[in-house]
Amino acid sequence: MIPFVPPPAQLWEETSWTALGVTVFGYLLTLLLIRWVLLTRKENPGATVAWIMAIVFVPIFGALLFLMFGVNRVDRRLAMRQESDREFKQTLPVITVDRVFAAESSQEIDRTLMTVATNVGRYPATNGNSAQILSDTNQALGLIEQAIHRAEKSIHLQFYMWKQDATGTRVRDLLVEKAKQGVTVRFLYDALGSSFPGREFFRPMRSAGIRVASTAPGSGLFGHWSINLRNHRKIVICDGKVGFTGGMNIGDEYLGITEKRGYWRDTHLRLEGPVVSHLQQIFAEDWYYATEEALSDRQYYPEPSGNGTDTVQMLSGQPTNEANAIRTVMFAAINEARSRILITTGYFVPPFAIVRSLEAAAYRGVRVALMVPGTSTYFYTMWAGRSYYDSLLEAGVEIYEYQRGALHAKTMTVDGQYSIVGSANLDNRSLLLNFEASVAIFDDRQAEQLDRDFKSDIKNAKRIDLAEWTKRSKTRVMGENVCRMFSPIL
């Protein structure tokens, strides 16, 4: 037997001092971060409790998780955004009174939601617009390319994901061609979503004079830590007259031409009229946030023709101290519904208040139907969403899981007369953390088209039956609930 030889006393002493130092550091860090959490996180009490538990029960590691995912670092540059707003207010053209829609002349639900959106956001509803719903991504990209071809002065693009594949390269080369023709082109991308690995993709763009910038996570050590905050907007504006926004990114998979993802179901919008100036302002604010260049020249905000017949309202969502217009209006629309609510979302991990409002609507006799993905790249996101099915199904909410391919559309219709189309999913990330852009449409025709799309999607979806759903294994239920614990950041 090998005799035990105790380590030297000096080693014991050094080890004990190291352990004591780590322990003291852990307690001090825990106390500091708990104070920080209690002072800064007011939006979601459940998330606040979850972060405190992680910090207390998983010392140091829980603190690191909070510093990476739990800190809203947008406030670091909020002063810059406010400065940008002040400059815009002084220099941007004001939409003439005759283009601002009179809420008094609309239906009751429209008046209510217009008032909510105007008070919470900054953009009034305007008439004289043309809003074209694009349920086919190939058609949508074709119209975007057409608008780029026809642009004479400026092209502004902003996307969460821009793939370096055949489609992404083709559109990039089209932008390079327009820049060489003398058109001013600005290209803004999310550094995390697009994840460009090198400078080669940008080299032809910069050589042609295209101004390229990235938005969140940000610059510097702490800026790059803020991977929890993303700019999820998809915006194209040509000459300040034609705009596009919605759910579609740029790449082969978004056209449904890749074997891995298969058919791609998305919804986008083509816009003309006064609302394009509001979409331009959203881009300009994000551009200023990323570059400190103020796009306040009136050439970017031309007087619209106003030949359209649609009344629309721009909704901007952001994780700053400002109120989130998308979340607030969506909540109000659910509560105002009287006959039916149809929602399609690419990700479903809803805020608790939205879940309860959907259940309340179903209990009062409103038809509530949800179209959610049947498959997802991120299984944990889908499992977290499924943890909400039980109470929704018990309330009478219809839930359909899309089976044909990838579901990425973000739409909502209420009572067949009010619609929301944009980049925001029905999940915590879109409604609490991301920068998003959506458009509210006050027109029966567009609502009817979206309702028809929903009815068509049902043919390619599986309806979740409550009796069958409750038979799933306890292991599956446990897995769903574990994933749900992370819902504040999913």
Quick one: residue 124, left, alpha or beta (phi over 0 = left, psi -120 to 50 = alpha)? Answer: beta
Higher pLDDT, 226 or 346: 346
Higher pLDDT, 386 or 486: 386
What is the pLDDT averaged over residues 291-295?
86
Burial classification of residue 303, based on how many CB atoms lie within 10 Å of its CB (0-12 exposed, 13-18 middle, 19 or more buried): middle
Which CATH number is 77-115+124-312's, of 3.30.870.10, 3.10.180.10, 1.10.3470.10, 3.40.50.1970? 3.30.870.10
Query: What integer pLDDT is reported at residue 220 of this predicted model?
Result: 45
Q: What is the mean pLDDT of the chain?
A: 85
Query: What integer pLDDT is reported at residue 8 of this predicted model?
Result: 58
Query: Does 325-489 match 77-115+124-312 at the fold level?
Result: yes
Closest C-alpha among 233, 235, 216 to residue 75: 216
Q: What architecture is the 325-489 domain classified under in CATH?
A: 2-Layer Sandwich (3.30)
- Residues with catalytic annotation? 232, 234, 239, 408, 410, 415
On the CB side of 312, how many CA atoms lie within 13 Å of its CA? 34
The three-state secondary structure class of 322 is: coil
Concatenated DSSP letters of 366-400: -EEEEEEESS-S-HHHHHHHHTTHHHHHHHT-EEE
The pair phi, psi for residue 373, each rounded to 5°, is -65, 145
Closest C-alpha among 318, 278, 300, 289 to residue 214: 289
**At 130, is the pLDDT very low, low, confident or very high (cuts 50, 70, 90)?**
very high
**217: cis peptide before it, omega within 30°?**
yes
Segment (H or E) for 437: strand 436-441
Calculate the dihedral angle through the C-alpha atoms of 344, 345, 349, 354, rounding to the nearest 10 degrees: -50
| Distance separating alpha carbons of residues 182 and 88, to the nearest angstrom | 26
| Distance separating alpha carbons of residues 233 and 248, to the nearest angstrom | 10
| Distance separating alpha carbons of residues 30 and 73, to the nearest angstrom | 20
Query: What integer pLDDT is reported at residue 140 of this predicted model?
Result: 98
**82: pLDDT strictly greater than 70:** no
Poorest-pLDDT segment among 202-206, 361-365, 475-479: 475-479
On the CB side of 93, how many CA atoms lie within 13 Å of its CA? 18
Summarize the chain as % helix, strand, coil (round to 5): 50, 20, 30
Query: What integer pLDDT is reported at residue 332 of this predicted model?
Result: 96
Structure tokens at 386: 């499924």
Rg (CA), the chain: 25
**411: pLDDT strictly greater than 50:** yes
Place of tokens 């006050």: 442
Query: What integer pLDDT is reported at residue 219 of this predicted model?
Result: 47
With a CB cutoff of 8 Å and minimum separation 6, the contacts of 122 are 316
What is the pLDDT averaged over residues 415-444?
94
Residue 319 sits at the vertex; the CA angle it makes with 314 and 324, to the nearest 5 degrees, is 40
| Distance separating alpha carbons of residues 61 and 54, to the nearest angstrom | 8
What is the pLDDT averaged over residues 20-39?
66
| Distance separating alpha carbons of residues 55 and 65, to the nearest angstrom | 8
- Return the bridge partners of 236, or none: 157, 244
Q: Where are the beta strands (DSSP E) in 161-283?
A: 184-190, 211-215, 235-238, 242-246, 264-265, 268-272
The alpha-helical segments, DSSP class H, found in 306-374 are: 325-336, 352-363
Poorest-pLDDT segment among 6-10, 99-103, 212-216, 279-283: 6-10
Domain ranges for the chain? 23-64, 77-115+124-312, 325-489
How much is the pTM? 0.85
Query: What integer pLDDT is reported at residue 392 of this predicted model?
Result: 98
Side chain identity, residue 222 = F
The alpha-helical segments, DSSP class H, found in 133-241 are: 137-150, 166-180, 191-194, 203-207, 220-225
Q: What percent of the chain has pLDDT over 90?
A: 57
Query: What integer pLDDT is reported at residue 39 of this predicted model?
Result: 66
